[in-house]
């Protein structure tokens, strides 16, 4: 069983998360990393957005948090950082930190996991390029992404994304008003998290994280700002994701557990 699972994990299986159909734009290829909001960077997540609304049975349990605090250690610890690190190690997720790459999109192909042989496709509406921090301070390295629309959206195909999180960066005391992140689930429900963002660069960076209900997946996440002062739009860093386990792997794991139970029952 272990050998078979290893073969599946190392088969170069490609997981595609497709967004808006029919896009003819060039696809940007990026390599994911296994650390969300690295402490090697002096600027880190400052706040977590909080649950504000849910439909279709979604509740505050479908919103997750990240660790917060600047410097050599976090002042609070959230579950997303460890969860995405574990997923990366298991070839089931990763973090786009926008470093060591450049270009424009809305279509992304993300190589993730320690093997970097698995890929994830994301289509965006809004975020369309990578650039230096400037008047904005990224939470990882020196680059970030963003666009010139309101709302800005990340689109996925049903059945694949179990968790998704990113950080909205504060900038030069710009008052965005209430910033709302809303995740849509494959079962038709939604969940929203909000926070008013008006701080200067590096002091109001806010994490938005979402978890799909059991048996469902995230099909899209959109971000809306209440105000668009002087034509300034939301900027993001550290886009993290965790993939739903492959059905074949779940079946094998279930079969292994069932076989072990049957063997125990047959023992005198």
pLDDT, position 247: 60
pLDDT, position 83: 98
pLDDT tens for the 268 residues of the chain, in order: 333 333 333 333 333 333 333 334 578 999 999 999 999 989 999 999 999 999 999 999 999 999 999 878 899 999 999 999 999 999 999 999 999 888 888 889 999 999 999 888 899 999 888 989 888 999 999 999 999 999 999 998 778 899 999 999 999 889 999 999 999 999 999 999 999 999 999 999 999 999 999 999 999 999 999 999 999 999 999 999 999 977 644 443 444 444 444 344 444 4
Phi, psi at 187, each rounded to 5°: -80, 0
Residue 59 sits in which domain range?
12-253
| Residues contacting 101, CB < 8 A, separation 6+ | 28, 29, 30, 31, 130, 143
The structure's pTM equals 0.84
CA separation for the pair 234, 102 (Å, rounded)? 19
pLDDT, position 133: 84
CA separation for the pair 255, 266 (Å, rounded)? 16
Considering the domain boundaries, does residue 245 fall inside one? yes
What distances in angstroms separate CA 235 from CA 21, 69, 170, one per listed residue?
A: 25, 19, 8
Note whether 204 and 195 are within 8 A (CB): no
**pLDDT tens digits along 109-139:** 999 999 999 888 899 999 888 989 888 999 9
pLDDT, position 159: 84
pLDDT, position 119: 86
pLDDT, position 26: 73
Considering the domain boundaries, does residue 1 fall inside one? no
pLDDT, position 70: 87
Considering the domain boundaries, does residue 193 fall inside one? yes
Note whether 193 and 78 are within 8 A (CB): no
> What residues are paired with 104 via a beta bridge?
129
pLDDT, position 250: 40
CA separation for the pair 132, 222 (Å, rounded)? 23
pLDDT, position 3: 35
pLDDT, position 248: 46
Domain count for the chain:
1
């Amino acid at each position: 069983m272990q050998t078979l699972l290893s073969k599946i994990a190392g088969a170069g299986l490609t997981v595609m998360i497709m967004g808006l159909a029919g896009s003819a734009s060039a696809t940007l290829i990026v390599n994911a990393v296994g650390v969300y909001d690295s402490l090697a960077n002096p600027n880190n997540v400052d706040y977590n957005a909080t649950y504000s609304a849910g439909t279709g049975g979604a509740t505050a349990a479908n919103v997750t948090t990240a660790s917060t605090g600047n410097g050599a250690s976090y002042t609070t610890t959230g579950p997303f950082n460890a969860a995405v690190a574990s997923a990366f190690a298991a070839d089931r997720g990763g973090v786009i930190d926008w470093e060591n790459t450049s270009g424009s999109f809305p279509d992304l192909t993300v190589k993730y996991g320690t093997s970097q042989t698995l890929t994830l496709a994301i289509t965006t509406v809004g975020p369309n390029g990578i650039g230096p921090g400037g008047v904005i301070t990224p939470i990882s390295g020196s680059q970030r992404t963003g666009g010139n629309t309101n709302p800005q959206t990340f689109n996925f195909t049903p059945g694949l994304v179990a968790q998704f999180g990113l950080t909205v960066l504060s900038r030069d005391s710009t008052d965005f008003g209430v910033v709302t992140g809303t995740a849509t689930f494959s079962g038709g429900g939604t969940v929203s998290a909000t926070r008013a963002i008006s701080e200067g660069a590096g002091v109001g960076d806010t994490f938005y994280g979402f978890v799909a209900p059991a048996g469902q997946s995230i099909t899209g996440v959109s971000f809306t700002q209440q105000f668009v002062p002087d034509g300034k739009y939301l900027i993001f860093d550290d886009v993290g994701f965790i993939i739903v386990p492959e059905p074949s792997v779940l079946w094998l794991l279930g079969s292994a557990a069932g076989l072990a139970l049957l063997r125990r029952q047959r023992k005198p």
